[in-house]
Chains A and B, each alone.
Chain A
Amino acid sequence: MELRIGEAFERLIEILQERFDPFFHVLGDGLTAAIRGLEGVLLFPSSYVLIGLLAVASWRLSGPGSAVLSALGLLLIDLMGLWQATMETLALVLSAAMVSLLLGIPLGIASSYSRWMERLLRPVLDLMQTMPAFVYLIPAVLFFRLGKVPGVVATVIFAMPPAVRLTLLGIKQVPRDVVEAAIAFGSTPRQLLFNVQLPIALPTLLAGVNQTILLSLSMVVISAMIGAGGLGEQVLKGITQLRIGLGFESGIAVVILAIVLDRLTHALGQSRTRPS
């Protein structure tokens, strides 16, 4: 006899589709609005203004070297004519990262409270990270059809685990006697979390933010396969239409974006560990 796990999965998806269609609709509309809004903001100023702003941010967070590197890289993207696509990708990545963090950080906090939750989450997170990313395209497409929204959804599934894991790790790393002291002086659980655990966990938590953003970026080509657009689409064009030059240029643009985002978010974590 043959086990039909695939069929069962299909049934499950169907049921979910029927039951929760309005829910997915609302969710889809919300995400669309967020992505469009972000794109609008990013594309509103001239590219030079945005490059300037990012360079200044880079300077303040990680010094002049990073600022120059970021500015030159972004200028190169602009000169290659990929600015529009890059900003679309950036909007997509930031939306996905935002959703990942909004879900992942609370989940990390929750699992620091309950061992039960932690035990439940661990295999799920392992699964999310080890499944080939293509697999996430399937439910994403089924629930949200084609376009940017399923792209964000698939990206979130792939990019969320480090946010959960590093939030949990950060909270667990808070020295035991510091937590004890806070409780002994009469902290409520909420005071303990916001006055002690989260601030001390912040550098680790921000390392999670960094990883989540970079993992989101690594999904751009895959999510372009279901119509998420942006640089991923350019790369795909390069492959399918054998336009090697375009593929190469788009690839470089992705790398530059990764470097810029990494420098910014990595430095964010570093600056928090220094005395203010």
Chain B
Amino acid sequence: MGTDSAPERTATREAQATAIEDAKISVLGLRKIYGRRPDKALALLQEGLSKDDILRKTGCTVAIQDATFEIHAGEIFVIMGLSGSGKSTVLRCLNRLIEPSAGRVVVDGIDVTKADKARLLEVRRHKMAMVFQNFGLLPHRNIVQNVEYGLEVQGVDKAARRAKALQALGLVGLQGYADKLPRELSGGMQQRVGLARALATDAEVLLMDEAFSALDPLIRKQMQDELLELQSRMNKTIVFITHDLDEALKLGSRIAIMRDGAIVQLGTPEEILTQPANDYVRAFVQDVDRTRIITAGAIMKRVDVIMHPKDGPALAVKRMRETDTSTLFVTDASRRFRGVVRIDDALTLVRENKHSLEGVIDTDVPTTTADTPIAKLVPVAAGTAVPIAVLGEDRTFLGIVGRASILAGIAGEQH
């Protein structure tokens, strides 16, 4: 068929439309130059000069070189990088707390970079709420007045905003603290107030700049758990900045790694760990506890030789001899997992002249799912001689994870 039919064209257009809708925030060619002569610096950047050269020639700091990415609705998008790599600058360009030097930021179809004052206020009031590293609470106002702030500047009437604020305080577990002043609360509690303030406006996007970095490790972990718990109920789009890899891996649906104002890799935590784009990222992920991130699906091996229950034991013995193993995996005709047969059982069947494996399939073998982190598989693997079977939906047999692959996964080798 040489020509597109009309329905097909509509279908592709719809597919494109959903792709764009799916991107809650699109960032296109974003650049930010600090200094007196940003246009000169931009031109030099275009010519391909390095950040250091530009600083030497113009005295301008290139904070963001060229950032293009999309943030999907409902994900926790983590931006990670060393100090000074431009994380905060990127985040503040999203709501134009910092004016970008070039590029576009589109939120829900609104071009924030082109928005006039009224539009920008609208975006800040209703689309995006922010949580700050040092909380940014108003010291002269009590907790509930702080939480109300976003609604107050919108002009929401007092009773309505008070109700909303108390509800948001409830979400973060601080109902009883409405009348306290910020300085009477611990750091962790103050940041909950910061979170409640962001939740109170019902903005769909949360911008969090190192929101948990100022907290003790224990409180920090607790806040991370709570954020994930809240997120599972509220389904916000969260842009989360951190320089802590463990935090990034724990929270991130996807992680963007920044270096010198550029995004050097963007991917899921697993992709970042298993396929670091360059030495910079590799150095970053070196010391991480991989066993909690890498999943069975990432290290499993496909199995080519599979038996069916109807197959004869002689065939099984032959296959085992060919592949030099003492067990084979058995699935039914639609690849649903049944169990394993062992060489001695197969040989017994041959001796007894039986024609099917049905009677000797061992169903009591360890199985797991593709998204199980290998930390959970280590004890299982230790207690069994048979590789662990990885099963998909409806117990479909996907592959196996042997002890060797688990160890290789922990060591960071790829296959």
Contacts and interface: CB of A to CB of B under 8 A. Distances in A.
Interface of A: 175, 177-178, 180-188, 191, 195-196, 199-200, 202, 275
B153 A187 contact: yes
Contacts of B152: 195
A181 B140 contact: no
A184 B129 contact: yes
Given A191-B153, A195-B152, A200-B138, A185 B132 contact: no
Interface string B126-148: 10111011111111100000000
Interface of B: 95, 97, 121-122, 124-126, 128-130, 132-140, 149-150, 152-154, 181, 197, 201, 207
In the A-B complex, the 6 residue pairs with the smallest Cβ-Cβ separation, listed nearest first, are: A181-B136, A186-B125, A186-B124, A177-B136, A184-B130, A185-B150
Contact of B149 (A180, A182, A275): A182
Given A184-B130, A186-B154, A178 B125 contact: no
Nearest to B140: A199
Given A180-B97, A200-B140, A185 B124 contact: yes
A164 B81 CA distance: 42
A21 B105 CA distance: 57
Contact of A185 (B134, B139, B140, B149): B149
A186 B132 contact: no
Contacts of A177: 132-136
Interface of A, helix, strand, loop or mixed by DSSP: helix
A80 B135 CA distance: 57
B269 to A, nearest CB: 28
B134 A188 contact: no
Given A185-B201, A275-B181, 15 more contacts: A177-B133, A178-B136, A178-B139, A181-B130, A181-B136, A182-B153, A185-B150, A185-B197, A186-B121, A186-B125, A186-B126, A188-B153, A195-B152, A200-B140, A202-B140
A37 B134 CA distance: 50
Among A177, A178, A184, A187, chain B packs the most CB atoms within 10 A around the CB of: A184
Contacts of A184: 95, 97, 124, 128-130, 207
Contacts of A196: 138
Contacts of B97: 180, 183-184
A23 B141 CA distance: 44
A185 B125 contact: yes
Nearest to A199: B140
Nearest to A196: B138
A56 B259 CA distance: 64
